[in-house]
Amino acid sequence: MYNEATHHNEIDLDKIDINAAPPTEEPERQYYFMAKCREWVKDFEQKNDRLPKACVTTFGCQMNARDSEKLEGILRKVGYEITEDERADFVLFNTCTVRDNANQRVYGRLGELKGSKRRNPNMKIALCGCMMQEPSVIEKIRTSYRFVDLIFGTHNLYKFAELLATCLAQTGYGEAGMIIDIWEGTDRIVEDLPVERKYPFKSGINIMFGCNNFCSYCIVPYVRGRERSREPKEILREIEKLVADGVVEVMLLGQNVNSYGKNLEEPITFAQLLQEVEQIEGLKRIRFMTSHPKDLSDELIQVMKESKKICRHLHLPLQAGSTRILEAMNRRYTKEQYLALAEKIRREIPDMAITTDIIVGFPGETPEDVEETIDVIRRVKYDNAFTFIYSKRTGTPAAAMEQVPEDVVKAGFDKVLKTVQDTAREQVARYQGRVFDVLVEEVNENDANLVTGRMSNNTLVHFPGGAELIGQIVDVSLDECHGFYYMGHMINRAT
């Protein structure tokens, strides 16, 4: 874990008078509560002869992973030892609700925590994230998971230190002491809170929050709220500080990065933001996630084409190949428009890997519609595609539409998956025998003599090497393609 906090405009906790009234301004108010929490931690240490341990478990997407780094940053700042072991003194689940199986996983893991809490009655259990924005979930936790101590949502994540202070001050636990703080929305973006990074050499950066698209299957606009962009100068300042701290690759995060900047007082396009990020000296690679096809501009394609730092990977969610289904999904593009866009990208930037998300079993989808999806997969030739079975989300327009029988969905899903695997294998293999730059990320999980890294186009490569290569960009010969990854050997260190 790598603490970014010292590189922000951080407030020194030693200079805070915790006997004074809490400030009303942010982030000062949160630092005040961090100082309060730190007193609690010191007290714990004296009584138990050890530091308290905290564990943050993340479900869901990169947005959630980044949020968890912020939560861990605060926990570390107040003195907790961060662990991955859920038998900790403070356990926080950062939840996802994009599909129902994400919710079921959270309930399952929560059931397991009950036993740990019985063994350690002083343990505190907290829940946050997208799933907590659903009133039915809160109801269920209040009645069936009464051992939970603290619940907050996506809009008040910045208030975590304040909520933690209240939670720690409480001696009792269970329903009577359950703190629940959920907001319906916010315009607020609080800067300069501490962050704890998972990797020293790469980092996610939020450039915007929320989503305005309202695809008819999707719960995200309801749980993450309306689109809000961060100020470009804040984003650039954050990246500059990360680079000074050793980061070489950044991933700009937003539900729909292509509409970045539209709601700022001084509007700027995503392509313009990328051009500014490109200027940051020492930064080697720029990634971003996710692009909505309807908003992907020619300006962006040109900027990507000319850039030396923007990675050759574009995640361009298709969702469905049938224009009729796309319309019912409220995606606002047709099959032909999507294909034309993909063709334009292939023409302008031939080495760009395109990946996608596909949903099978959207209400009303027929086997003929699924064939249209398969047709798009064959034509675009994705390097990878995440294929999901449609999951009915309460409150979304699609939940009220007629659902497809399970066996029909399953048959379509298997067919789509098989097509994705076949085309991806072919597509990924096109670089076999050539040399590419690879950013080394870790020692291989299964073989300590190998390291694992990523090409600019996001393909994984394993090759002989040691931990000293982690964080470096090296030239690797791609010897053998194994479906979604390569085995290779290092040629030399890239500059």
Sign of CA dihedral 388, 394, 400, 402: positive
Shorter beta-carbon distance to ligand 5AD: residue 52 or 361: 361
Q: Which does 97 bind (CB under 5 to 8 A by kind): ligand SF4, ligand 5AD, none?
A: ligand SF4
453 binds, among ligand 5AD, ligand SF4, none (CB under 5 to 8 A by kind): none
**Nearest distance from residue 94's CB to ligand SF4, in Å?**
8
Which whole-number Å values give the CA distances from 40 to 36, 85, 114, 122, 125, in the listed order?
7, 22, 24, 13, 17
CA distance 285 to 389: 33
Question: Sign of torsion, CA 83 87 90 93?
Answer: positive
- Give the one entry of ligand SF4, ligand 5AD, none that residue 218 binds, where binding means its C-beta sits below a cut-off of 5 to 8 angstroms depending on kind: ligand 5AD
Closer to ligand SF4 at the Cβ: 129 or 204?
129
Question: Where does this chain touch ligand 5AD (CB under 6 A) — which range of 118-126, 203-211, 387-395, 486-494?
Answer: 387-395
Strand 81-82 versus strand 208-209 pairing type? unpaired
- Tell me the backbone φ, ψ of residue 63, rounded to 5 degrees: -60, -45
Chosen from ligand 5AD, ligand SF4, none, partner binding at 388 (C-beta under 5 to 8 Å by type): ligand 5AD
What DSSP element (H or E) covers 138?
A: helix 135-144
From CA 102, how far away is CA 96, in angstroms rounded?
A: 6
From ligand 5AD, ligand SF4, none, which one binds at residue 60 (CB under 5 to 8 Å depending on kind)?
A: ligand SF4
Exactly one of 98, 250, 277, 420 binds ligand 5AD (CB under 6 A); that residue is 98
Q: How far is the CB of 185 from ligand SF4 (least distance, A)?
A: 15
Binding mask 218-247 for ligand 5AD (x = CB under 6 A): x-----------------------------
* 357 near ligand 5AD, judged by CB under 6 A: yes
* Rounded distance between C-alpha atoms, residue 434 and residue 448, angstroms: 25
Sequence-separated (6 or more) residues with CB below 8 Å from residue 139: none
For residue 313, give the nearest of 419, 384, 418, 212 by alpha carbon. Answer: 384
Binding positions for ligand SF4, rule: CB under 6 A: 60-61, 63-64, 96-98, 129-130, 220, 224
CA dihedral 428, 429, 431, 435 (to 10 degrees): 100
Exposed e or buried b per residue across 294-331, where buried means at least 16 C-beta atoms within 10 angstroms of its C-beta: ebbeeebbebbeebebbbbbbbbbbbbbbbbbbebbeb
Q: Which of residues 281-340 bind ligand 5AD (CB under 6 A)?
A: 317, 319
Tokens found for residue 180: 């629940």
Q: How far is the CB of 387 from ligand 5AD (least distance, A)?
A: 9
From 48-56, 136-144, 159-167, 390-398, span contacting ligand 5AD (CB under 6 A): 390-398
The b-or-e profile of 368-399 (16+ CB within 10 A means b, else e) is: ebbebbbebbeebebbbbebbbbbebeebbbe
246-285 residues in contact with ligand 5AD (CB under 6 A) are none
Name which of 129 and 321 has its Cβ closer to ligand SF4. 129
How many helices (H) does the chain have, and how many strands (E)?
13, 21
Contact 213, 225 (CB under 8 A): no
The span from the CA of 428 to the CA of 122, in Å, is 51
Residue 130 touches which of ligand SF4, ligand 5AD, none (CB < 5 to 8 A by kind)? ligand SF4
Closest residue to ligand 5AD, based on beta-carbon distance: 357
- Min dist CB 107 to ligand 5AD, Å, is 18
Partner whose binding site includes residue 345, from ligand 5AD, ligand SF4, none (CB under 5 to 8 Å by kind): none
Instruction: Out of 390, 431, 436, 486, name the contact with ligand 5AD by CB under 6 A.
Output: 390
Q: How far is the CB of 59 from ligand SF4 (least distance, A)?
A: 7
Range in contact with ligand 5AD (rule: CB under 6 A) among 206-214, 374-382, 386-394, 469-477: 386-394
Among 117, 331, 393, 462, binds ligand 5AD (CB under 6 A): 393
Distances (CA, A) of 88 to 37, 64, 116: 17, 21, 9
Residues 226, 217: Cα–Cα separation, whole Å: 17
Q: Looking at beta carbons only, is 31 or 93 nearer to ligand SF4?
A: 93
CA-CA distance, 244 to 6, in Å (whole number)? Answer: 12
Residue choice 44, 59, 209, 217 for contact with ligand 5AD (CB under 6 A) = 217
- By rule CB under 6 A, what count of residues binds ligand 5AD? 12
Q: List interacting residues with ligand 5AD (CB under 6 A).
A: 98-99, 217-218, 317, 319, 357, 359, 388, 390-391, 393
